[in-house]
Amino acid sequence: MALTELFSARKSCTTCPYCGVGCGVAATQESQPGGGEAVIRIQGDEQHPANKGKLCVKGSSLADTLGNHGRLLKPRLHGEDCDWETALDYAASQFRETIDTYGPDSVAFYLSGQLLTEDYYVANKLMKGFIGTGNVDTNSRLCMSSAVAAYKRALGADAVPCNYEDLDEAELVVLIGSNAAWTHPILFQRMQAAQAKLVVVDPRGSATSEMADMHLAITPGSDAALFNGLLHYLTEFGALDQGFIDNHTENFSDTLYAAAEWTPEKVADYCAVDLDELLAFYELFRSTEKTTSFYSQGVNQSSSGTDKNNSIINCHLATGRIGKPGCGPFSITGQPNAMGGREVGGLANMLAAHMDFTEDNIDRVGRFWNAAKMAQGPGLKAVELFNAVESGQIKAVWIMATNPAVSMPDARRVAAALKKCPTVIVSDCVADTDTARCADLLLPATTWGEKSGTVTNSERRISRQKSFLPKPGEARHDWEIICDVAKRLGYGEAFDYQGPADIFREHAALSGFENNRDQGRRAFDISALATISDQEYNFFTPLQWPVNAANPNGTARLFSDGDFYTPNGRARFVAVDPQCPKQETRDEYPLIMNSGRLRDQWHTMTRTGRARKLLDHSEAPEVHVHPQEAQEFGIEDAQLVRVESEKGQFFGRARVTASQKPGQLFAPIHWSDSLAHNATVSALALPFTDPLSGQPELKQVAVNIAPLNAHSYACLLLRTKTAEELHSRLQAGDKPLRQTILHWYRVPVEGGYRFELALSKQPDWQAIADNLFALHGKQLNRQRLQLPSGERWLLHSEQMELLVFTSADWQTLPDRKTLEDALNKPLPAMPAQLLQNVPAGAQMVCTCLQVSRKQIEAAIADGAASVDELGELLGCGTNCGSCKPEISALLNTNLAVAVG
């Protein structure tokens, strides 16, 4: 039989659901001979202009995150499964009663940059056009809202001037508050391939700064001073494009006046950087025409983030470096569809299709929608919105595709507010999240691979996400759920869509509706797509907006003609007075806590946390500490520590590293109560916000740190059912466990879970096991081994049920992979062998090819002297390339040691 008869493959071109690079993904389903479960193969889509076939480690691991385990598969009302009729009736009647009794401003939606444009569009339409309130906000408030506010101030529209080809063409890329090597890896690889000079502005050393030509480790929050100083320098040293300033901008002299006091000496002092280095950066910027500024959360997540964005844009306007190849102020989006949300009006201060709440626009959108009740003004922004939930003003809230109990500043207070709110509806694809635990009604949503619609990436490029998997269980698409509730609220006619293509056509038509110079010109215009057929929608080729009669094939770059979206067509300079972070250090809280992302995890890990291999790079909540602080506070590397702010506590393992500056800490944001004990970083942050954008100051939190002394550590392996029992007891604060366990986190493994425990006293494993297995009903055999390093336990029937290894030193616990294997292998003839001879653990650097730090260090010791050489020898870095910065860092340290 020919091989082709055995296998049949179906390929679907879609888009990655993670970061704002928006890489094209080719998902191939290969059915197996004999009808076995189809295998999904994920590859980069060679045809997609964002990535041209490449994927980073998160994208290439997408297949490992699929599957029904842990999914929300049925609606749940007050903790019990229910049918859809009951769920939808409940949602609609709670909203209807609340609105009728307390008015439309007593309800709210909190949405997400991970919804598809079509989902976002109908949610926004329902709230702003039919329920009649502006109370729709989104997690993009925590992410992009300062970038939006700054673009609008300077350019007259939320319109990203640049595109990815500018990164290929740039001779200098200034990365400000961006760890792109980890957070936008495919774009970072493009910059590297183009051999542009890279300058990184970041208070800490990162994988990105490791690969840069220059790293300015500025004082946290001091970016605006750095760029005011640059504007001053550009003026002093003749780099202004006076023609551009005169013909295409306004407010230059006021802006320059505000910047004039920022001499290089003053900036060097304020930002705590070396004067010569600062001057070298200023000179590089001055002398390099093709300069792109690439900025992200280090500037956005600030109580003065809008000004910081404008201070960067000012320097591009002053030099005329905008709208030209290789140039521009490029705000890079985080989420896969942050841009789509901005386009439909997902932010509370926007109405729809880039229109805000002017009288004309309210009338215009009202006529287009044939709206029952138009919102008359902006709604509450995220922090205000959850404050209103707390105060009781908002009595019903529907949260979709975001996890605010983890990601909002002062996260514990947000969770508490939700718990006492009369109606909380949560739509998610995953059953157990911290936010889901606050819900009255849980609605099972489809997710990546199952749902269908469009997303817009950082360069304004609209691409399709396509379904290639069936809906699991009873899950429904977000747009369907919203429309079903809208119908029950009595708005059936306006929400009668046959599918996402229908919604997309309406969205496209609204973007072009009365969009002209006379009635108000809007940047977001995809009117040429308003009549596309279902077939064209299905085979949509990625396009950059505007896509209209003048530009039917899309628009790669904006503002090439120097015509801006302000009423007089001129871009605006904005005078900036640099502000310090509002969360200031003081005696009780002497350190600044910074936070951000890890290479292999996505946000609250509801998806990436399912792929075992993505946890190889880093599996535990951690805090990065400078050696000086470590010494001062008595902290050793890998020790458990407690970080405390005015608002809350965070536990994690210390990573002592000179990449932090003294006085500053850094923690990854990914862990939550669902995955670990006391590991929600945002619980520390005070909810200070930017006065214009409402974006919270998440990057600079005043904290203190102290070691947490554990009696000992344990690694515990359990099969799924018993692991879930342990997990729910840990979360419920079960007393005997609480008295013994100081800290825990869990890792999903094939066949069960591994728990890592820090113990406050010697546990009675027998009692813990008896308790856990009480309902098990099976007779279990027990093996115990007492070694000088610690106690080891095995409970088994015909298979392994529980394995425990303990040690006074966490780092001497054995290799976890070897232990995990025992879950899926037959028991050895002598089961006690499982307790013996397990090798020590190894940290993975290359997740794709499973190459550990130890292997790389050994190869360097044997003479390997470059990333490429190590790739040839061990394979590391040869698949997605996301680990190359770390391999390079290992080379630098190890070669330096060898030479030194």
Residue numbers of the site for ligand MGD (CB under 6 A)? Answer: 19, 58, 112, 114, 139, 142-143, 176-180, 182-183, 201-204, 206, 220-221, 223, 296-299, 301, 334-335, 400-404, 406-407, 427-430, 433, 445, 447, 451, 478, 594-597, 599, 601-604, 606, 669, 681-682, 685, 698-699
Q: Are residues 371 and 104 in contact, defined by beta-carbon separation less than 8 angstroms?
A: no
d(CA 368, CA 527): 14
Q: How far is the CB of 119 from ligand MGD (least distance, A)?
A: 7
User: Which of 800/848 has CB closer to ligand MGD?
Assistant: 848
Q: Are residues 63 and 72 in contact, defined by beta-carbon separation less than 8 angstroms?
A: no
Q: Binding mask 36-65 vs ligand SF4 (x if CB under 6 A, - otherwise)?
A: ---------------x---xx-xx------
Rounded to the nearest 10 degrees, the angle between the axes of helix 867-874 and helix 853-861 is 110
Q: Which amino acid is at 252?
A: F
Helix H or strand E segment including 270: helix 264-271
**Residue 574 near which of ligand MGD, ligand SF4, Mo ion, none (CB within 5-8 Å, type-dependent):** none
* Site for ligand SF4, residues 182 to 201, rule: CB under 6 A: 184-186
What would the two tokens of residue 737 be?
Answer: 């466990």
User: Which of 334/748 has CB closer to Mo ion?
Assistant: 334
Instruction: Name the segment binding Mo ion (CB under 5 A); options: 327-335, 345-353, 618-626, 772-780.
Output: 327-335
Q: Is 334 in the site for Mo ion (CB under 5 A)?
A: yes
- Sort 900 into a burial class: Cβ within 10 Å, 0-12 / 13-18 / 19+: exposed
Strand ranges for 207-306 from DSSP E: 214-216, 249-250, 291-295
Q: How far is the CB of 113 from Mo ion (least distance, A)?
A: 7
Q: How far is the CB of 65 from ligand MGD (least distance, A)?
A: 10
Max CA separation in the chain (angstroms): 86
d(CA 177, CA 332): 11
Indicate the pairing of strand 8-15 with strand 355-356: unpaired
Q: How far is the CB of 861 from ligand MGD (least distance, A)?
A: 30
Q: Is 18 in the site for ligand SF4 (CB under 6 A)?
A: yes
Q: How far is the CB of 840 from ligand MGD (least distance, A)?
A: 28
DSSP state letter for 316: H
User: Which of 339/800 has CB closer to ligand MGD?
Assistant: 339
Mapped onto helix, strand or coil, the DSSP state of residue 326 is coil
**Residue 883 near which of ligand SF4, ligand MGD, Mo ion, none (CB within 5-8 Å, type-dependent):** none
User: Which of 460/466 has CB closer to Mo ion?
Assistant: 460
Q: How far is the CB of 452 from ligand SF4 (least distance, A)?
A: 18
Adjacent-strand bridge partners of 456: 462
User: Which of 62/714 has CB closer to ligand SF4?
Assistant: 62
Residues 6+ positions from 332 with CB-CB distance below 8 Å: 20, 178, 180, 184, 187, 294, 295, 296, 458
Cis amide bond preceding 814, omega within 30: no
Q: Is 332 in the site for Mo ion (CB under 5 A)?
A: no
Q: How far is the CB of 166 from ligand SF4 (least distance, A)?
A: 17
Q: Is 597 in the site for ligand SF4 (CB under 6 A)?
A: no
User: Which of 321/460 has CB closer to ligand SF4?
Assistant: 460
What would the two tokens of residue 688 be?
Answer: 């200070």
Helix H or strand E segment including 465: strand 461-465
Q: How far is the CB of 553 from Mo ion (least distance, A)?
A: 30
User: Which of 461/796 has CB closer to ligand MGD?
Assistant: 461
**Residue 337 near which of ligand SF4, ligand MGD, Mo ion, none (CB within 5-8 Å, type-dependent):** none
Q: Of these, 14, 22, 558, 765, which contacts ligand SF4 (CB under 6 A)?
A: 22
Torsion of CA 332, 338, 342, 345, to 10 degrees: -170
User: Which of 247/541 has CB closer to ligand SF4?
Assistant: 541
Q: Is 21 in the site for ligand SF4 (CB under 6 A)?
A: yes
- Sort 517 into a burial class: Cβ within 10 Å, 0-12 / 13-18 / 19+: exposed
User: Which of 515/608 has CB closer to ligand MGD?
Assistant: 608
Instruction: Name the segment binding Mo ion (CB under 5 A); options: 62-70, 287-295, 326-334, 653-661.
Output: 326-334
User: Which of 21/503 has CB closer to ligand SF4?
Assistant: 21
Q: Are residues 769 and 796 in contact, defined by beta-carbon separation less than 8 angstroms?
A: no
d(CA 403, CA 428): 9
Residue 473 C-alpha from the chain's centroid: 27
Backbone φ, ψ for residue 353 (5° rounding): 45, 50
Mapped onto helix, strand or coil, the DSSP state of residue 820 is helix
d(CA 682, CA 701): 9
**Residue 664 near which of Mo ion, ligand MGD, ligand SF4, none (CB within 5-8 Å, type-dependent):** none
Residue 588 C-alpha from the chain's centroid: 31
User: Which of 13/143 has CB closer to Mo ion?
Assistant: 143
DSSP state letter for 800: E
User: Which of 184/727 has CB closer to ligand SF4?
Assistant: 184
d(CA 694, CA 496): 34
What would the two tokens of residue 734 be?
Answer: 């079960």
Q: How far is the CB of 23 from ligand SF4 (least distance, A)?
A: 3
**Residue 698 near which of Mo ion, ligand SF4, ligand MGD, none (CB within 5-8 Å, type-dependent):** ligand MGD
Per-residue DSSP letters for 537-562?
Answer: HHTPPPEESP-SSS-TT--S-S-TTS
User: Which of 143/874 has CB closer to Mo ion?
Assistant: 143
User: Which of 466/603 has CB closer to ligand MGD?
Assistant: 603
Q: In terms of Cα–Cα distance, which of 174, 329, 314, 177 is closest to 258?
A: 314
Q: Are residues 561 and 323 in contact, defined by beta-carbon separation less than 8 angstroms?
A: yes
**Residue 597 near which of ligand SF4, Mo ion, ligand MGD, none (CB within 5-8 Å, type-dependent):** ligand MGD
User: Which of 273/803 has CB closer to ligand MGD?
Assistant: 273
Q: How far is the CB of 498 from ligand MGD (least distance, A)?
A: 20
Q: How far is the CB of 192 from ligand MGD (least distance, A)?
A: 16
User: Which of 300/894 has CB closer to ligand MGD?
Assistant: 300
Residue 589 C-alpha from the chain's centroid: 27
Q: How far is the CB of 54 from ligand SF4 (least distance, A)?
A: 8
**Residue found under tokens 């980073």:** 56
Q: Of these, 13, 14, 16, 271, which contacts ligand SF4 (CB under 6 A)?
A: 16
Q: Are residues 353 and 511 in contact, defined by beta-carbon separation less than 8 angstroms?
A: yes
**Residue 21 near which of ligand SF4, Mo ion, ligand MGD, none (CB within 5-8 Å, type-dependent):** ligand SF4
**Residue 51 near which of ligand MGD, Mo ion, ligand SF4, none (CB within 5-8 Å, type-dependent):** ligand SF4
Give how many residues touch ligand SF4 by CB under 6 A: 14
Q: Of these, 115, 136, 143, 683, which contacts Mo ion (CB under 5 A)?
A: 143
d(CA 558, CA 583): 37
Q: How far is the CB of 183 from ligand MGD (least distance, A)?
A: 3
Instruction: Give CA angle at 306 (304, 309), nearest 5°.
Output: 110
Q: How far is the CB of 184 from ligand SF4 (least distance, A)?
A: 6
Taking the CB of residue 561, how many other CB atoms lie within 10 A of it? Answer: 9
Q: Are residues 726 and 718 in contact, defined by beta-carbon separation less than 8 angstroms?
A: yes
Residue nearest ligand SF4 by beta-carbon distance: 59
User: Which of 431/827 has CB closer to ligand MGD?
Assistant: 431
Q: Is 598 in the site for ligand SF4 (CB under 6 A)?
A: no
| Sign of the C-alpha dihedral computed for residues 130, 132, 135 and 140 taken in this order | positive
Binding site for ligand SF4 (CB under 6 A): 16, 18-19, 21-23, 51, 55-56, 58-59, 184-186
Binding site for Mo ion (CB under 5 A): 143, 334
